[in-house]
Each structure stands twice: as structure tokens, then as C-alpha cells.
Amino acid sequence: MDRRCNRRDFLRQSSTIGAGLALANLGNIVGATETDSNTAQKLSDDKTLRIGFVGIGVRGSCLLKILLELEGVQVRALCDIREDRVTRAQRWVEEAGQKIPSGYSKSDTDFKRMCETEDLDLVITATPWQWHVPVCVSAMEAGKHAATEVPAAVTLDECWQLVETAEKHGKHCMMLENYCYFRKAMTILNMIRKGLFGELLHCEGRTQENWIRENWHIFNSDGTMGWLGEHLAKRNGNPYPTHGFGPMAIWANVNRGDRLDHLVSMSSKSRALKLHAEQSFGKDHAVAQQAYLQGDANITLIRSVNGVTFTLYFGGQSPQPWSPEHKVQGTLGTCIGELFDYDARADGWIQAKVYEKGSRWANYTNYAETYDHSLWKALGQKANKYRAWDWSGAYDYLMLYQLVNALRRNNTPPMDVYDAATWSAISELSERSVANKSSVQEVPDFTKGKWKNNAPTDLAQV
């Protein structure tokens, strides 16, 4: 199963599912509790959220389609450097029964004009990495909240720019880390909060991708370098840390009672990119002749101020199955294994196991129902329908639902600008460490001390 959004299937299925889901508004979700009905009641008084969307490629299309399913959302403006993508998305918005949004595609900074011209509450970006911060900063400077795809920023300077702009203009900036919404990640969070594993000691996470097989923006078909290839050619560290780190950061209360202190990082040699270039275009081709810095494997070790350790693996190029395998270790027990929760992926994957209070290994499934997270209990049935749109549709739905409803109620989104900055900062810090024989890198305190009093999050609020 290719887990990337399949555009053809997506478009074919969307109209059928859309019709079905339109019937299930917030008040009549199957399995919703009494509290959820009250929630629905409160929401009906809330304002409409006016959204501008930047970058409507593979990922942006998936997010936009789900946004159009949410109550209280109006998509008012669309921006992409490709005019055909703006036109296509304008059609989707119109088909969803909304007014045709304004389109922006004059240049690669036309999002700035959009932010300055349009009356919007929120700007979302799903552009290539290097555009995330420019879009979010333009949005916040123009008085809009911002949300960005992962990672939020490429450099440490950019991380600070996000934090300082959000603070200066009093705006929210949420990074859309959908891995935090995996059902299993949230169940484990619940198990941790209920004390099943005792005091937290250590977590392991990974971003293990197969970008070459999936042909994900490394080389374009005409032999030029894709946007991801540009990053991998010039950088060497963990360029994509947040899928692996996000769930662990929530489990371990990073920036909410604890904070990251320092890290060290090491990369293997780089092989897969050059081999891929040679095999695809021939040894004499420009992309096969150039140097590639990014090691095929990167391992980063992080320690928190309170003494929790984290291991973070990154591998995007060499042949390997996509696997968000994780481990959480506490004084009373551990849970280790595959974090992905969809049954269809159960074939030969590392099934999660739990070892609780010195008992025997037990299958994670023994715990899944008892410790299911309240958000999944309330909205899981509806969220699961979006798996037909994309492998991550269920998580994207829950994440966007929380973002939209937090902002409609003038609440802080569940993941804030300090999370975005801290999780993304691992990129440049790991690169600096790799470049200096795994030297120790201090992790900046983006919260400037606020981490001491910030309450932990259980990702349950809307």
C-alpha cells in the first residue's frame, strides 16, 4: 500500500464520502458522549473561521478537502505558484457549496499579498519546507493565525522568527504534526497519564521513510532536482524530525514541565541518493555528478532537563518500509512497537507489546480499548472514514478539527508555536552536531522559562 495520497482515488472517493459525511454533523456522531453533544451545542454559537490556504500540492489537497468537511470553515483565498492548482482547488471549494475563493499565483511570494489583502482568521501552508516560515510570518504580521505543515522551520533562526512573530503579534502558530493523532500514540499518552509505566525515563522514535521508491520530490522527471532533493544534497542531520519526535514530546511533557537540554547526532555515509541519480539518469548526468551530503541513516540522542532521554532515528533514502516504530520506557514498564494503528498494516509489522509492572509481555491490543483516548472515543468513527481518502486522513481530520475549533473559540491550539520551534530545531542542531564529530548542542529554551509552569497537554480539548 502506497501511503501517500493517491490523487485519482482521492478524487473518485471524495464525492461519495463527502455526501455521507455531510449527514453526520457534530451533534450526531455515532458513539459521541453527552459531553460531545454539549460541545456541539457550544460550537453552534461560535464564529466562522475564514481560511487562506498556501501550497495545494499532494499534501495541501488532502488537508484542504478535509477542511471543507468541517463545520464553521470558509475557505476564502488560495495560493500556489501553479495557477492550475489554484483553479482546481477553487473548483473543490465551489463544489463544497462555498463562494469561489480568490486566487493568488503571480509569484513565489504572492502569499504575502494574500495575507495583506484578504480578511482571514487563519493561513495554512503546505508548501515545500523553505516556504513554511515566510508564509507563517507574513500571516501573523498581517494579523492572522498560522498553521504549517512539518517541519515548521528549517533553521534555528527561522524557529526564533516564528516564536518572536507570534509573541509580537499575539497570534497562534500550530505545526500540523498528524503523528501525534495516531490512535496508538494517543492511547499510549493515556496509559502514561494513568501511571501505567510509572515515571518516564526514555523514549525512542523514528522517521523511517522510503522517499526514493515513493518518488517524493527528490528528482523531477526532467532530470532536475526536486525541492526535497535540494535539501538532502546540501544538509546532513535529521531534516525531518517531527514525525518521530512529536508523539514523544507530548508523552514526555516537553515545554510543559520539562524541556530539552542538549543533543548529539551522528550520520552514516550517504549512498542512496547518488545511486538513485545514476540509475535514473546515467552516470554522466548532472544530478549523478553532484555531491550529496545527507547520510542514509541519522541517529540523534537528546536529553531533557529532568533526565528523560530520547533516541530519534531518521532514514529517508535507503530501501526500507515506512515505519513509525516507537518505544516508551518508564520505571514500571514499557510499550514498544509499531505506532501505526490501522489493522490493514498488521502484515508482518512489529506489533506493539506492553510490559507492565514486571508482568509478562502482553499484546498492546489488550490495552487498546481500556485506554482508548477520549478524542478517539468521541470522533474516531467519523475520523476513520477519511482513511479512504488518504492513509493519514483519520489523523488529519482530528488534528484539523482541534485546530479549527480551538480558534473558533479563541482558545490556544493544542500544539503551540513553542512546540513547532522546539521540535523543528532538532534539524539544524543535529546538522551542527554531525558537522562537528557529534559535538554537544544546547537546545534553546524557546519558551524563555514558561515551560516550568505550562500545564501538560492530553490533546483532548477542543
Ligand X SMILES: NC(=O)c1ccc[n+]([C@@H]2O[C@H](COP(=O)([O-])OP(=O)(O)OC[C@H]3O[C@@H](n4cnc5c(N)ncnc54)[C@H](O)[C@@H]3O)[C@@H](O)[C@H]2O)c1
Which spans of this chain sit near ligand X (rule: CB under 6 A)? 54-60, 79-82, 85, 108, 111, 126-129, 131, 149-150, 178, 217, 392
Strand order in the sheet with 353-356: 362-363, 353-356, 333-337, 326-330, 200-208, 309-315, 298-304, 260-267, 441-442
What grid cell was written down for 11?
Answer: 478524487
Residue 124: CB minimum distance to ligand X, A: 11
Neighbours of 305 (CB within 10 A): 16
Buried-exposed string 322-332: b where 16+ CB fall within 10 A, e elsewhere:
bbbbbbbbbee
Residue 436: CB minimum distance to ligand X, A: 27
Residue 82: CB minimum distance to ligand X, A: 4
Nearer to ligand X, 59 or 235 (CB): 59
Cβ pair 394, 386 in contact under 8 A: yes
Nearer to ligand X, 47 or 106 (CB): 106
**Residue type at 47?**
K
Rounded CA separation 251/248 (Å): 5
Nearer to ligand X, 58 or 460 (CB): 58
Residue 175: CB minimum distance to ligand X, A: 9
Residue 421: CB minimum distance to ligand X, A: 16
Neighbours of 6 (CB within 10 A): 16
Rounded CA separation 419/67 (Å): 23
Nearer to ligand X, 72 or 128 (CB): 128
Identify the CA nearest to 354 among candidates 175, 242, 194: 194
Q: How far apart are the first and last CA of the chain?
A: 32
Cβ pair 296, 272 in contact under 8 A: yes
Cβ pair 78, 96 in contact under 8 A: no
Nearer to ligand X, 392 or 447 (CB): 392
Nearer to ligand X, 130 or 454 (CB): 130
Nearer to ligand X, 26 or 403 (CB): 403
Nearer to ligand X, 122 or 192 (CB): 122
Rounded CA separation 186/459 (Å): 8
Residue 63: CB minimum distance to ligand X, A: 8
Nearer to ligand X, 134 or 330 (CB): 134
Residue 384: CB minimum distance to ligand X, A: 17
Query: For cell 490556544, what's the residue?
Result: 412
Quick check: helix, strand or coil at residue 161? helix
Rounded CA separation 359/296 (Å): 38
Nearer to ligand X, 207 or 447 (CB): 207
Query: For cell 494503528, what's the residue?
Result: 341
- The number of residues making up the chain comes to 462
Residue 243: CB minimum distance to ligand X, A: 7
Cβ pair 238, 317 in contact under 8 A: no
Nearer to ligand X, 150 or 260 (CB): 150
Rounded CA separation 21/50 (Å): 21
Residue 59: CB minimum distance to ligand X, A: 3
**Cβ-proximal residue to ligand X, closest one:** 57
Distance of CA 84 to the CA centre of its chain: 26
Nearer to ligand X, 131 or 367 (CB): 131
Q: What is Dmax (Cα atoms) for the chain?
A: 66
Task: Write out the H or E segment, with its range, that includes residue 312.
Answer: strand 309-315
Query: For cell 482546481, what's the residue?
Result: 88
